Chain A
Amino acid sequence: MVALCSTTIWQNAEAQLLKKLKDKVNQAADKAVGDKTGTNTGTNTGNTGTTGSSTSTSSRPSNKGGAGLISTPPDIAANMTSSEASFKDNKFSESRYALQQSILGVELQIGKEILKSLPDSVQGLPKITEKDKVASSGWGWSGLTISRDYQKDDKFLGVGIQDFSYLGPAWAMFLNGGMMNSQVENEKQKMKNIMVKGNKGVISYDDSKGYTVVVMLTQGSALVWEGVNFASEDDIMKAVNTFDIDRIKKFLGEK
């Protein structure tokens, strides 16, 4: 804990120090360029360099666009073969890397299949395809995250599917506990337990965030919905119930 605190303090101090250093370097660079181009007025005290011709030459240009990265999901079968070959040669580091690449490839493919199975629109809210996200660490059960957004005007629904196996026991306690699962503030219910298509879950409401529904699946995965500007609990639950949870479970290998 002490180490963590020390690290945090140090990181803050370092960030401030770096910022000051960066400002000084920028000032010096501006001055040097200004001297060469004759644009210095002699009293350049600003630290951002936002005026004069020196700005256009010394400031870093902003990126105006590019083709991005080429999508190269790992070749699952090739990596399995590579892992096996390296294992036989006692090259365990290479074998492990290839195996993790295989897992990464499989998880990305599972993520894509799940996204394909989600509805195109939910209660009149169309999906925002460009925000579809599949992320995998390639490190096993805790690494897969899938999300999709639905939005029309100011009404928004986000759905996320995440493996939470390492949080599983904590969630089980939470859902079965009875201590924390019913929270009331100012006589308003803020959080409560619910059942969604036979799965235990929790719904919460916050004026600034809207509704959040979390459903834990059998072995650690969780489905999370965030609803902004939904009129009522009934409204958000109708949206949640349009999702085929059993099908998602099947993709994740959950019973």
Chain B
Amino acid sequence: MKTTLFFFATILYCNIIFAQADYAKYIGTARTSFSKPDLEDTRYNLMLALQQLDMKVGQEILKILPEKMDSLTAQKKLDNIMANSAGWIGTTIHREYGMSQQNKVEVDIVSNSPMVASLNAWLNNPMFAQMGGRKAMKVDGYKGSYTYEVSESTDASGNAIKTPRSEMQIPIFSSLVTVKCDNMKEDDFVKMLNTLPISKIAEMLK
């Protein structure tokens, strides 16, 4: 177990080092290209530097996420950052807490999310803020949309299983923070959400 943890910690550390090194490398190449001047190559390398910067921001955000949410431990080996500076969606950051499907929390942060505009419009409209099976609430001072639904299925013996599912979406600038969880009461879910350092994440996403 210790070896595995050390292995993943090493990978994470290496990724951080590589992101820093690559950022410096791409900025350096962009500077050289600009002095020629080769504008297209300058642009290309600046875009790559931006990707590396987004990777770095993703790593920093993962660092400030709590080690535990409720009683569930962060599954750091499943941490995922995907920097995509190629247009409408930016970086996606993913973290899971808990081992089993029945008892798992997922945190996703997507920068430049196309969902943000409609979500903000919904949140800022008192007429709609309590409609559509969801409601508005605040986490760490940030408004978000809370959805609670119960999905029904059957087990192998044909018995009905009801699974309550909670989801919170919090728009921050152009980014969207989503927290999903099964089998948790609303009060417990909200309590758990308040352990997320949303203000610090917002500072990073600015």
B34 within 8 A of A: yes
- Inter-chain contacts of A76 with B (CB < 8 A): 34, 42
Interface residue count for B (Cβ, 8 Å)?
40
Q: Chain A interface mostly helix, strand, loop or mixed?
A: helix
- Inter-chain contacts of A87 with B (CB < 8 A): 20, 23, 53, 56
> Do B53 and A92 have beta carbons less than 8 Å apart?
yes
Within 8 A of A (CB), among B110-168: 112, 118-119, 121-122, 125, 127-128, 131-132
A7 within 8 A of B: yes
CA distance A83 to B23 in the complex (A): 10
> Do B39 and A166 have beta carbons less than 8 Å apart?
no
> Do B118 and A96 have beta carbons less than 8 Å apart?
no
> Do A92 and B42 have beta carbons less than 8 Å apart?
no
> Do B31 and A77 have beta carbons less than 8 Å apart?
yes
> Do A166 and B40 have beta carbons less than 8 Å apart?
no
CA distance A215 to B41 in the complex (A): 23
A253 within 8 A of B: yes
Of the 9-residue stretches A100-108, A185-193, A195-203, A234-242, which lies at the interface with chain B? A100-108
CA distance A4 to B50 in the complex (A): 31
> Do A166 and B57 have beta carbons less than 8 Å apart?
no
> Do B43 and A92 have beta carbons less than 8 Å apart?
no
Total A-B residue pairs with C-beta atoms closer than 8 Å? 103
Of the 9-residue stretches A23-31, A33-41, A137-145, which lies at the interface with chain B? A137-145
Of the 9-residue stretches B2-10, B83-91, B97-105, B182-190, which lies at the interface with chain A? B83-91
Q: A10-B128, A76-B34, A165-B86 are in contact. Are A103 and B46 (CB under 8 A)?
A: yes
Within 8 A of A (CB), among B29-59: 30-31, 34, 39-44, 46-47, 49-50, 53-54, 56-57
> Do B46 and A7 have beta carbons less than 8 Å apart?
no
How big is chain A's contact interface, by range?
A: 35 or more
CA distance A140 to B88 in the complex (A): 9
A233 within 8 A of B: no
- Inter-chain contacts of B206 with A (CB < 8 A): 93
Contact mask for chain B residues 9-31; partner A; CB cutoff 8 A; 1 contact, 0 none: 00000000000100110010011
CA distance A250 to B205 in the complex (A): 35
Pick the contact of A102 from B46, B118, B125, B203 — CB < 8 Å? B46
- Inter-chain contacts of A96 with B (CB < 8 A): 50, 53-54, 57
> Do A100 and B50 have beta carbons less than 8 Å apart?
yes
CA distance A253 to B40 in the complex (A): 6
Q: Other than A103-B50, A166-B88, give 6 A-B pairs with Cβ distance below 8 A.
A: A6-B131, A80-B34, A84-B24, A87-B23, A103-B47, A139-B87
Instruction: Name 23 A/B residue pairs within 8 A (Cβ), A-sorted.
Output: A2-B132, A3-B132, A7-B121, A10-B127, A77-B31, A80-B31, A80-B46, A83-B49, A84-B24, A84-B27, A87-B20, A92-B53, A96-B50, A99-B46, A100-B50, A103-B43, A106-B39, A140-B85, A140-B87, A142-B86, A142-B87, A166-B87, A253-B41
Q: Which residues of A contact B (CB under 8 A)?
A: 2-4, 6-7, 10-11, 14, 76-77, 80, 83-84, 87, 90, 92-93, 95-96, 99-100, 102-103, 106-107, 109-110, 113, 139-142, 165-166, 250-253
Q: Which residues of B contact A (CB under 8 A)?
A: 20, 23-24, 27, 30-31, 34, 39-44, 46-47, 49-50, 53-54, 56-57, 60, 85-88, 112, 118-119, 121-122, 125, 127-128, 131-132, 203-206
**Ranked 6 nearest A-B pairs via Cβ:** A253-B40, A142-B87, A93-B206, A166-B87, A7-B121, A106-B43
